[in-house]
Amino acid sequence: MKRIAVLTSGGDAPGMNAAIRAVVRGGVARGMEAFGVRYGYAGLMADNMIPLGPRDVGGIIGRGGTILGSARAPEFRTEAGRMQALHNLNARGIEGLVVIGGNGSQAGAAALAQMGFAVVGVASTIDNDLVGSDITIGVDTALEVALEAVDRLKVTASSHGRAFLIEVMGRGCGYLALMTGLAGGAEAIVIPEVETDPEEIAGVIRESYEHGKPHAVVVVAEGAKLNAAALMSYFGQHQERLGFEVRATILGHVQRGDDPTASDRVLATQLGAAAVEQLAQGQSGVLVGMIQGQVVATPYAEVLSGSKPIDLNLLALAQMLNR
Ligand code: F6P
């Protein structure tokens, strides 16, 4: 394989740049030429690509975001959109594509691979909901950002004797919320994987107040039925029973914007290089991820048909220690 392209797609994740660098330099080390596709599948369909050499990816290993830009491109779900993308790749003599992104992006990559083009995915999303990698690029950094927010909110919560609902991202997956809550010593954690009664959370807040705690922190996953807005509206009617006055903070995209941690840079570097190796070996239709400390390539059929469980023992642990 002589010419490859790389794109980043879906929500950006800290470490994407480190992965781009590894793809480009890993390709060059194998005698390949590399192209960067701007703005994900939208750029692939619009033929928005630039040649990338080793110098073009200098100084980006520690930068958040993605130098290529990212986008969500619903038109790529259509056969016509994918045919256009294939046409553009072929016209440029590109023989293999690396797709750095999460579930939606990898579904697009799988569709392209099914059309006969060589595609390898790199597991990258702050949600950590991708089958095929124990941990995905961006999770560690997003977790650190969320944790810093929890620590800061605890300071002001303690000054005022308040309860805080802190909503973290994760789409339908509670991983980020669970780990943020556990690491942040939250009094309660609400995740989509577990049905939660608002009365239970009200009870935890009340108990924290009665036990003389200076605050109560509830970490809530955005994908939980009882997200921060739903809990605020419930608590609004029961304020007097809670003891603490309640405030809510939705962290949102701030979790995606930091520079990658050491661990995200290392993961992204390993996975980016491994993706090129897969292409060089003639592999296609696989996602590279990290499983039990080893870089593993998992076929898309497996990646896209399953859902990734989270460790509910960690929720039980957090609940045991919240007194
Ligand atoms: O998939 C990453 C993620 O940040 C999710 O946690 C969140 O639900 C979503 O993307 C937000 O998407 P957008 O950036 O399009 O608003």
Alpha-carbon distance 126 to 258, whole Å?
A: 12
pTM of the model: 0.97
CATH match of 3-138+260-303 with 3.40.50.450: yes
Q: How confident is the model at residue 240 (pLDDT cuts 50, 70, 90)?
A: confident
pLDDT digits (tens, 9 = 90+) for 64-123: 999 999 998 999 999 999 999 999 999 999 999 999 999 999 999 999 999 999 999 999
Assess whether pLDDT exceeds 90 at residue 151: yes
pLDDT score for 237:
84
Mean pLDDT of all residues in 49-66 = 98
Mean pLDDT of all residues in 260-285 = 98
Q: How confident is the model at residue 55 (pLDDT cuts 50, 70, 90)?
A: very high
Mean pLDDT of all residues in 262-286 = 98
Mutate to test the pocket of ligand 1, among 100, 171, 180, 253 (most ligand atoms within 8 A of CB): 171
Give the rounded percent of residues in the chain with a pLDDT score beyond 90.
97
Closest Cα partner for 125 from 250, 242, 256?
256
Q: Ligand 1, residue 171: give the atom nearest the CA.
A: 8
Could you tell me the distance, in angstroms and rounded to a whole number, from the CA of residue 261 to the centre of ligand 1? 20
Nearest residue by C-alpha to atom 11 in ligand 1: 11
Phi-psi region of 243 (alpha: psi -120 to 50; beta: other; left: phi over 0): left
Same fold: 3-138+260-303 with 140-256: yes
pLDDT score for 239:
82
Quote the mean pLDDT of the chain: 97
> Domain spanning 140-256: which CATH class is it, in words?
alpha beta
Q: Give residue limits of the domains in the chain.
A: 3-138+260-303, 140-256
Assess whether pLDDT exceeds 90 at residue 278: yes
- Ligand 1 site residues, Cβ closer than 6 angstroms: 11, 72, 102, 125-127, 169-171, 222, 256
Q: Give all strands of the β-sheet with 286-291 in edge-to-edge order.
A: 49-52, 33-37, 3-8, 96-101, 118-123, 286-291, 294-299
Assigned token pair, 111: 């569709």
Residues marked active site are found at: 127
Identify the DSSP state of 35.
Answer: E
Alpha-carbon distance 202 to 307, whole Å?
A: 31
DSSP string over 236-280: HTSHHHHSSEEEEEE-GGGGG-SPPPHHHHHHHHHHHHHHHHHHH
Could you tell me the distance, in angstroms and rounded to a whole number, from the CA of residue 126 to the centre of ligand 1? 9
